[in-house]
Protein backbone atom coordinates (compact mmCIF):
# COMPACT_ATOMS: atom_id res chain seq x y z
CA UNK A 1 0.00 0.00 0.00
CA UNK A 2 1.36 3.37 -0.99
CA UNK A 3 1.16 6.25 1.42
CA UNK A 4 -0.32 9.16 -0.37
CA UNK A 5 1.36 12.37 0.76
CA UNK A 6 -0.13 14.88 -1.60
CA UNK A 7 1.18 18.39 -1.47
CA UNK A 8 -1.44 21.14 -1.53
CA UNK A 9 -1.72 22.96 -4.81
CA UNK A 10 -0.67 26.57 -5.21
CA UNK A 11 -4.31 27.57 -5.70
CA UNK A 12 -5.26 25.80 -2.47
CA UNK A 13 -2.49 27.56 -0.55
CA UNK A 14 -3.47 30.92 -2.07
CA UNK A 15 -7.08 30.34 -1.02
CA UNK A 16 -6.00 29.51 2.54
CA UNK A 17 -3.80 32.60 2.64
CA UNK A 18 -6.68 34.80 1.48
CA UNK A 19 -8.93 33.27 4.15
CA UNK A 20 -6.33 33.95 6.84
CA UNK A 21 -5.84 37.48 5.54
CA UNK A 22 -9.61 38.10 5.70
CA UNK A 23 -9.64 36.89 9.31
CA UNK A 24 -6.72 39.18 10.18
CA UNK A 25 -8.49 42.19 8.66
CA UNK A 26 -11.71 41.33 10.51
CA UNK A 27 -9.82 41.11 13.81
CA UNK A 28 -8.03 44.38 13.06
CA UNK A 29 -11.38 46.08 12.46
CA UNK A 30 -12.68 44.76 15.78
CA UNK A 31 -9.58 46.03 17.57
CA UNK A 32 -9.99 49.43 15.89
CA UNK A 33 -13.59 49.61 17.06
CA UNK A 34 -12.55 48.79 20.61
CA UNK A 35 -9.48 51.00 20.79
CA UNK A 36 -10.55 53.94 18.65
CA UNK A 37 -9.67 54.92 15.13
CA UNK A 38 -6.05 55.39 14.15
CA UNK A 39 -5.26 58.55 12.23
CA UNK A 40 -2.17 59.23 10.15
CA UNK A 41 0.26 62.09 10.64
CA UNK A 42 -1.93 64.33 8.47
CA UNK A 43 -5.04 63.51 10.56
CA UNK A 44 -6.74 61.29 7.99
CA UNK A 45 -7.84 57.76 8.94
CA UNK A 46 -5.35 54.98 8.31
CA UNK A 47 -6.88 52.18 6.26
CA UNK A 48 -5.06 48.89 6.63
CA UNK A 49 -4.41 46.80 3.53
CA UNK A 50 -2.51 43.60 2.76
CA UNK A 51 0.42 45.74 1.58
CA UNK A 52 0.38 47.78 4.78
CA UNK A 53 0.39 44.55 6.80
CA UNK A 54 3.55 43.41 5.01
CA UNK A 55 5.09 46.86 5.43
CA UNK A 56 4.14 46.83 9.13
CA UNK A 57 6.07 43.59 9.66
CA UNK A 58 9.11 44.87 7.73
CA UNK A 59 8.93 48.19 9.60
CA UNK A 60 8.94 46.48 13.01
CA UNK A 61 12.05 44.58 11.97
CA UNK A 62 13.75 47.76 10.74
CA UNK A 63 12.86 49.65 13.94
CA UNK A 64 14.48 46.93 16.05
CA UNK A 65 17.70 47.59 14.10
CA UNK A 66 17.36 51.38 13.77
CA UNK A 67 20.91 51.99 15.04
CA UNK A 68 22.40 49.57 12.48
CA UNK A 69 22.54 51.15 8.98
CA UNK A 70 24.35 48.07 7.65
CA UNK A 71 21.39 45.89 8.61
CA UNK A 72 18.88 48.42 7.28
CA UNK A 73 20.70 48.31 3.94
CA UNK A 74 19.67 44.68 3.49
CA UNK A 75 16.36 44.45 5.41
CA UNK A 76 12.89 43.62 4.06
CA UNK A 77 11.80 47.27 4.33
CA UNK A 78 14.59 48.30 1.96
CA UNK A 79 13.44 45.65 -0.51
CA UNK A 80 9.85 46.89 -0.29
CA UNK A 81 10.83 50.53 -0.71
CA UNK A 82 13.08 49.70 -3.66
CA UNK A 83 10.24 47.80 -5.34
CA UNK A 84 7.80 50.59 -4.57
CA UNK A 85 10.02 53.45 -5.78
CA UNK A 86 11.93 51.60 -8.46
CA UNK A 87 15.28 52.72 -7.08
CA UNK A 88 17.82 51.42 -4.62
CA UNK A 89 18.10 52.96 -1.17
CA UNK A 90 20.91 52.49 1.35
CA UNK A 91 20.75 51.84 5.08
CA UNK A 92 21.59 55.40 6.17
CA UNK A 93 18.81 56.79 3.96
CA UNK A 94 16.33 54.34 5.51
CA UNK A 95 17.54 55.30 8.99
CA UNK A 96 17.09 59.00 8.20
CA UNK A 97 13.65 58.42 6.65
CA UNK A 98 12.48 56.44 9.69
CA UNK A 99 13.68 59.10 12.15
CA UNK A 100 12.04 61.89 10.12
CA UNK A 101 8.77 60.01 9.82
CA UNK A 102 8.83 59.19 13.54
CA UNK A 103 9.01 62.92 14.27
CA UNK A 104 5.93 63.47 12.08
CA UNK A 105 3.95 61.01 14.21
CA UNK A 106 4.22 63.57 17.03
CA UNK A 107 2.27 66.28 15.18
CA UNK A 108 -1.49 66.43 14.77
CA UNK A 109 -3.58 69.09 13.03
CA UNK A 110 -6.74 68.01 14.90
CA UNK A 111 -6.58 69.85 18.23
CA UNK A 112 -5.04 69.47 21.67
CA UNK A 113 -6.47 66.05 22.68
CA UNK A 114 -5.34 64.40 19.46
CA UNK A 115 -2.06 66.31 19.59
CA UNK A 116 -1.36 64.90 23.06
CA UNK A 117 -2.12 61.37 21.85
CA UNK A 118 0.17 61.78 18.82
CA UNK A 119 2.89 63.26 21.03
CA UNK A 120 2.69 60.26 23.37
CA UNK A 121 2.91 57.87 20.41
CA UNK A 122 5.97 59.73 19.15
CA UNK A 123 7.59 59.54 22.58
CA UNK A 124 6.94 55.80 22.78
CA UNK A 125 8.57 55.25 19.38
CA UNK A 126 11.53 57.45 20.21
CA UNK A 127 12.12 56.06 23.67
CA UNK A 128 11.75 52.45 22.57
CA UNK A 129 13.66 52.44 19.28
CA UNK A 130 16.02 55.44 19.46
CA UNK A 131 16.85 55.59 23.16
CA UNK A 132 16.47 51.83 23.73
CA UNK A 133 14.44 52.15 26.94
CA UNK A 134 12.59 49.19 28.36
CA UNK A 135 8.81 48.98 28.35
CA UNK A 136 8.78 49.37 32.13
CA UNK A 137 10.85 52.58 31.93
CA UNK A 138 8.56 54.03 29.26
CA UNK A 139 5.27 53.29 31.02
CA UNK A 140 6.69 54.75 34.23
CA UNK A 141 7.98 57.91 32.52
CA UNK A 142 4.71 58.49 30.63
CA UNK A 143 2.49 57.40 33.54
CA UNK A 144 0.48 54.98 31.40
CA UNK A 145 -0.41 51.33 31.76
CA UNK A 146 1.47 48.64 29.90
CA UNK A 147 -1.72 47.89 27.99
CA UNK A 148 -1.97 51.53 26.86
CA UNK A 149 1.70 51.39 25.85
CA UNK A 150 1.01 48.46 23.52
CA UNK A 151 -2.07 50.13 22.03
CA UNK A 152 -0.13 53.33 21.36
CA UNK A 153 2.89 51.47 19.99
CA UNK A 154 0.70 49.49 17.60
CA UNK A 155 -1.07 52.65 16.44
CA UNK A 156 2.24 54.51 16.00
CA UNK A 157 3.73 51.69 13.93
CA UNK A 158 0.57 51.54 11.84
CA UNK A 159 0.88 55.29 11.18
CA UNK A 160 4.55 54.88 10.23
CA UNK A 161 3.68 52.02 7.88
CA UNK A 162 0.97 54.12 6.28
CA UNK A 163 3.29 57.13 5.83
CA UNK A 164 6.25 55.10 4.53
CA UNK A 165 4.48 52.56 2.34
CA UNK A 166 1.76 54.64 0.74
- Whether the per-residue pLDDT at 145 is higher than 90: the answer is yes
Residue 18 within any structural domain of the chain = no
80, 58 contact by CB (below 8 A): yes
Residue 143 within any structural domain of the chain = yes
- Whether the per-residue pLDDT at 36 is higher than 80: the answer is no
Confidence of residue 132 (pLDDT cuts 50, 70, 90): very high
Confidence of residue 33 (pLDDT cuts 50, 70, 90): very low
Confidence of residue 112 (pLDDT cuts 50, 70, 90): low
* Between residues 105 and 116, the one the model is more confident about: 116
Parent domain of 54: 48-164
CA distance 44 to 38: 9
Cβ contacts of 118-125, under 8 Å, gap ≥ 24: 118/41, 120/144, 120/152, 121/152, 121/153, 121/155, 121/156, 121/159, 122/156, 124/149, 124/152, 124/153, 124/156, 125/63, 125/153, 125/156, 125/157, 125/160
Residue-level pLDDT at 21: 65
Residue 20 within any structural domain of the chain = no
Residue 141 within any structural domain of the chain = yes
Domains contained in the chain, number:
1
Residue 26 within any structural domain of the chain = no
Residue-level pLDDT at 106: 67
* Between residues 33 and 101, the one the model is more confident about: 101
Residue 70 within any structural domain of the chain = yes
Residue-level pLDDT at 43: 52
Residue-level pLDDT at 114: 73
pTM of the model: 0.65
- Per-residue DSSP letter, 8: P
Residue 57 within any structural domain of the chain = yes
Residue 134 within any structural domain of the chain = yes
Q: What is the pLDDT of residues 41-83, one digit of tens each?
A: 455 555 556 666 778 888 999 999 999 999 999 999 998 888 8
* Between residues 154 and 5, the one the model is more confident about: 154
Residue-level pLDDT at 34: 45
Q: What burial class does residue 54 get, using C-beta atoms within 10 Å of its C-beta: 0-12 exposed, 13-18 middle, 19+ buried?
A: middle
CB proximity list for 119: less than 8 A, separation 6 or greater = 106, 108
CA end-to-end distance (rounded Å), the chain: 55
Amino acid sequence: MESSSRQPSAASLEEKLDTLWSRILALERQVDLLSGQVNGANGSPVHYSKEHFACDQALRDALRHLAEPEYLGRCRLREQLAAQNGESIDGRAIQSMLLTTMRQVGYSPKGPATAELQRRRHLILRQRYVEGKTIREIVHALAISERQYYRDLKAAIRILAHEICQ
